[in-house]
Amino acid sequence: MVAVMATALVATPQAQAAEPPSAGTWLAGQFAGGDHLVQGPDLPDPGLTADGVYALAAAGVGKSTATKAAAWLARPEQLEFLVGDGETESYVGGLVKLALVAQTLGTDPHAFAGVDLLERLAPLQDASGRYRDASADPAAEQTNAFTQALAIIVLKRAGLPSDEAVAYQVSTQCPDGGFPIAFAQPTCKSDVDGTAMVLQALLAVGEKTASPKALTWLAGQQKADGGFPSATAGSNANSTGLAIGALVAGGRAADADEAVAYLRSLQVGCSGPEAQRGAVAYDAAGYEQYPAIRATAQAMLGLARVSLADVSASSATAGVPAIDCGTTPPTTTTPPSPSPSPSPSPEPPASSEPPAPAPAGPDTPAVPPLAATGPGQAVPLTLLGSSTVLAGAVLLLVSRRRKVGA
């Protein structure tokens, strides 16, 4: 691939800082109330909150925030919205996202807030191997390549068989080697996000037939700036973060390095406003608050070179590193308050955090650098979507018109 071009830098130059501020520190400061992320003012987003858990784990920081986020996701109003009531409705997207939250934190997906997420997932698989939502409203069906791939990943992590799910996923491969987001379309159209997600799943289970061709197709989509495009936009942090996980798992280290350099070029450094330092912009247009929350969460796995099949908070620290831009460093690890999003609670010490649905292991005392960076109304529940304003509707996992928080 062509070397990363300097023109990929955002409006706030990052070259002045030898070491970018911690993306994990910035992201931890965006958790409203200290336990959930929002897609806009007063718009809690459970799916994005789950993405935040994976991101902090990948960075190896903010375990107390991630644990509080899991407890927020376990609240009855969030839990039922995500997974359904288990009787009249069950949703694949919510089940697998919460299962991965539990696995990331080292807790039990068979006992998340009293729900066996994997037991509920099992009957949603049809005879073809595809996982489908169960609902009285056929129009509520929202399963796609993301939900199928993530189901394969959580089954693999749980030590459960996934052969039929893998066979179905392989059967959806397009002639050019990539994978689509939506299933059973008249024309198979390969998609960067869909292919990256599917590859993470297939490579995790050791699939060797469809994966090589898919990896070649994905690598061929990388742009001259090192980034990867979505179906609706050019190079962006969201698609690039997801692609890196597949490239690393597939042994494409050089391509992954260029993609990581692209993500670094989007990160707000010490020359930027204090409240933005560490954030990753969606693309080269520069920082915008709410796209940056999603972009940072999704870029952090790429910056850490971590696949969703491997992400873990087992060695994560309770707090986050202070951002030191050459001034007197703060004496605490309290994340900066976001602007203009709702002001979160400070990062508490590990001893004061509320328990997760199932307790995780003890926090590691030392604070390491961020891995690889230095290294009714429907709430869209995305898994690593790739749009500045959630326009990438094809990536919605559980976007349905039903009561929220009722």
- The pLDDT mean for the chain works out to 82
Residue 327: the pLDDT is 55
For 110-125, how does the pLDDT look when each residue is reduced to its tens digit (9 = 90+)?
999 999 999 999 999 9
pLDDT at 245 > cutoff 50: yes
- Which pTM does this prediction carry? 0.80
For 36-79, how does the pLDDT look when each residue is reduced to its tens digit (9 = 90+)?
999 999 899 999 999 999 999 999 999 999 999 999 999 999 99
> Is residue 378, in this structure, part of any structural domain at all?
yes
> Is residue 137, in this structure, part of any structural domain at all?
yes
CATH code, domain carrying 269:
1.50.10.20
> Is residue 334, in this structure, part of any structural domain at all?
no
Percent of the chain residues topping a pLDDT of 70: 76
For 211-239, how does the pLDDT look when each residue is reduced to its tens digit (9 = 90+)?
999 999 999 999 999 999 999 999 999 99
What is the DSSP secondary structure assignment for residue 266, as one 8-state letter?
A: T
> Which range among 40-54, 87-101, 313-327, 349-363 shows the weakest confidence by mean pLDDT?
349-363
The structure tokens 């350099």 sit at: 261
Residue 87: the pLDDT is 92
Angle at 141 between CA 207 and CA 294, to 5 degrees: 70
Residue 254: the pLDDT is 98
**How far, in Å, CA of 133 to CA of 150, rounded?**
14
Q: Which two tokens stand for residue 2?
A: 């062509």
Q: Of residues 283 and 372, which shows the higher confidence score?
A: 283
Domain containing 286 equals 6-327+339-395
Residue 347: the pLDDT is 40
> Is residue 165, in this structure, part of any structural domain at all?
yes
Residue 139: the pLDDT is 80
Q: Which residues contact 219 (CB under 8 A, 6 or more apart)?
A: 1, 247, 252, 255
Residue 349: the pLDDT is 36
pLDDT at 328 > cutoff 70: no
Residue 138: the pLDDT is 78
> Is residue 194, in this structure, part of any structural domain at all?
yes
Q: Of residues 200 and 394, which shows the higher confidence score?
A: 200
Q: Which residues contact 350 (CB under 8 A, 6 or more apart)?
A: 63, 64, 318, 319, 362, 363
Q: How confident is the model at residue 19 (pLDDT cuts 50, 70, 90)?
A: low
Q: How confident is the model at residue 35 (pLDDT cuts 50, 70, 90)?
A: very high
Residue 91: the pLDDT is 97
pLDDT at 29 > cutoff 50: yes
For 136-158, how does the pLDDT look when each residue is reduced to its tens digit (9 = 90+)?
887 879 999 999 999 999 999 99
pLDDT at 10 > cutoff 70: no
Total number of domains in the chain: 1
For 261-319, how does the pLDDT look when each residue is reduced to its tens digit (9 = 90+)?
999 999 999 999 999 999 999 999 999 999 999 999 999 999 999 999 999 999 999 99
Cβ atoms within 10 Å, residue 131:
23
**How far, in Å, CA of 315 to CA of 242, rounded?**
22
The whole-number average pLDDT for the span 351-366 is 34
Residue 20: the pLDDT is 76
Percent of the chain residues topping a pLDDT of 90: 73
How many Å is the maximal CA-CA distance in the chain? 62
